[in-house]
C-alpha cells in the first residue's frame, strides 16, 4: 500500500496541475458519478495521511484511498483514451489523470469530511500537524510503539517501511511499550525530517547519502552494524529490528 510520502507526492503534483482549472470528469468504469464535478473548477488537492482529497467548486469533496492496488496514470495528451477500468478521470486542456482500482473513491460532504479528518492522527508531512498532539497521542497508546505508528488514528501516513526505518533511526525497538514524551518527540522529529525527503524522491529515504538503501527494512543484516535483523509479526505486518541498535 502506498505510504504517506507517495500520497503527498500525488497530491502536490495534481494540485499544481488541476487547481484553479475547470476539469472534465468521467468514469469510464461507471462506478463513480462524475456529473457533479464535470465542468467545475478544482480548488485544491490535498493529502491527509494515506487519503487524497479533491476540493471542487460547488460540489462535495472527492475522497480517494488507493489501497493495495490503486494507481494513477498521467496522460500528457488529455485526449488519450482511458483504460476501461478507470474509476475516475479528471482532465484539463493540458493533462489528464486516470484513477484505477482504488479501494475508495467517493463524494464526501462537509460532515463526512470532518469525520474523516477527526479519525486521523497528525500527519508528519502536513504543516498544520502539531508536535504536541503527536506526542500526546503516541504516549497515550497502550500497546507497542510499532503498533502505534501504524495506527492511522495515532499518526497518519506511516506504513511498514517507514515504521521500520524511523524506529531504527531513533533507536526504538518496535515492541517497546510506554515510551515517554522525549522519545515520542524524537520519533516525531525524525519523521518530519525524513518523510519529506521520501515525498520529494518518490521512495522511502532513511539515509540521504545512500537513498536506495535501507537500514533494516527487508534486510537480513543491519546495514550499520552487520547484526542479523530480527523479524516477527506486529500489528499484522512484519516488524524489523536490529538487536544491537534497537535493544529490546
- For 53, the 3-state DSSP assignment is strand
Q: Is 177 one of the catalytic residues?
A: no
Q: Which residue out of 9, 50, 89, 199 is catalytically annotated?
A: 50
Which H helix or E strand runs over 233? strand 230-234
In the chain, helix, strand, coil percent, each to 5? Answer: 30, 25, 50
* Dihedral sign (CA 195, 198, 203, 209): negative
Alpha helices in the chain (DSSP H): 4-18, 110-119, 131-140, 145-148, 160-169, 181-201
Q: Is 3 one of the catalytic residues?
A: yes
- For 191, the 3-state DSSP assignment is helix
Among candidate residues 209, 246, 208, 211, the one with its CA nearest the CA of residue 229: 246
Among candidate residues 52, 2, 65, 13, the one with its CA nearest the CA of residue 195: 2
Radius of gyration of the chain (CA): 20
Q: Which residue out of 3, 34, 144, 214 is catalytically annotated?
A: 3
Q: Which residue out of 2, 60, 107, 196 is catalytically annotated?
A: 2
- Please, which residues have CB within 8 angstroms of residue 136's CB and are 6 or more apart in sequence? none
Q: Which residue out of 40, 126, 131, 237 is catalytically annotated?
A: 237
Q: Is 50 one of the catalytic residues?
A: yes
- For 39, the 3-state DSSP assignment is coil
Catalytic residues: 2-3, 50, 237
Amino acid at each position: 500500500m502506498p505510504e504517506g510520502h507517495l500520497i503527498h507526492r500525488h497530491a502536490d503534483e495534481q494540485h499544481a496541475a488541476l487547481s484553479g482549472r475547470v476539469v472534465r470528469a468521467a468514469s469510464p468504469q461507471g462506478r463513480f458519478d462524475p456529473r457533479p464535478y464535470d465542468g467545475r473548477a478544482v480548488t485544491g488537492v490535498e493529502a491527509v495521511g494515506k487519503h487524497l482529497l479533491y476540493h471542487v467548486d460547488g460540489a462535495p469533496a472527492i475522497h480517494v484511498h488507493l489501497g493495495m492496488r490503486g494507481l494513477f496514470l498521467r496522460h500528457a495528451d488529455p485526449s488519450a483514451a482511458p483504460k476501461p477500468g478507470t474509476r475516475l478521470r479528471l482532465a484539463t486542456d493540458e493533462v489528464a489523470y486516470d484513477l484505477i482500482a482504488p479501494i475508495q473513491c467517493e463524494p464526501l460532504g462537509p460532515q463526512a469530511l470532518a469525520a474523516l479528518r477527526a479519525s486521523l492522527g497528525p500527519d508528519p508531512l502536513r504543516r498544520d500537524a502539531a508536535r504536541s498532539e503527536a506526542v500526546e497521542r503516541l504516549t497515550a497508546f497502550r500497546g507497542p510503539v510499532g503498533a502505534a505508528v501504524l495506527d492511522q488514528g495515532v499518526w497518519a501516513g506511516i506504513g511498514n517501511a517507514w515504521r521500520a526505518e524511523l524506529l531504527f533511526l531513533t533507536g526504538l525497538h518496535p515492541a517497546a511499550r510506554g515510551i515517554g514524551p522525549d522519545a515520542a518527540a524524537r520519533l516525531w522529529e525524525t519523521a518530519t525530517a525524513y518523510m519529506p525527503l521520501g515525498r520529494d524522491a518518490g521512495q522511502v529515504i532513511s539515509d540521504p547519502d545512500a537513498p536506495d538503501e535501507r537500514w533494516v527494512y527487508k534486510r537480513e543484516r543491519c546495514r550499520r552494524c552487520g547484526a542479523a535483523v530480527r523479524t516477527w509479526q506486529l500489528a499484522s505486518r512484519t516488524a524489523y529490528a536490529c538487536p544491537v541498535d534497537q535493544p529490546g
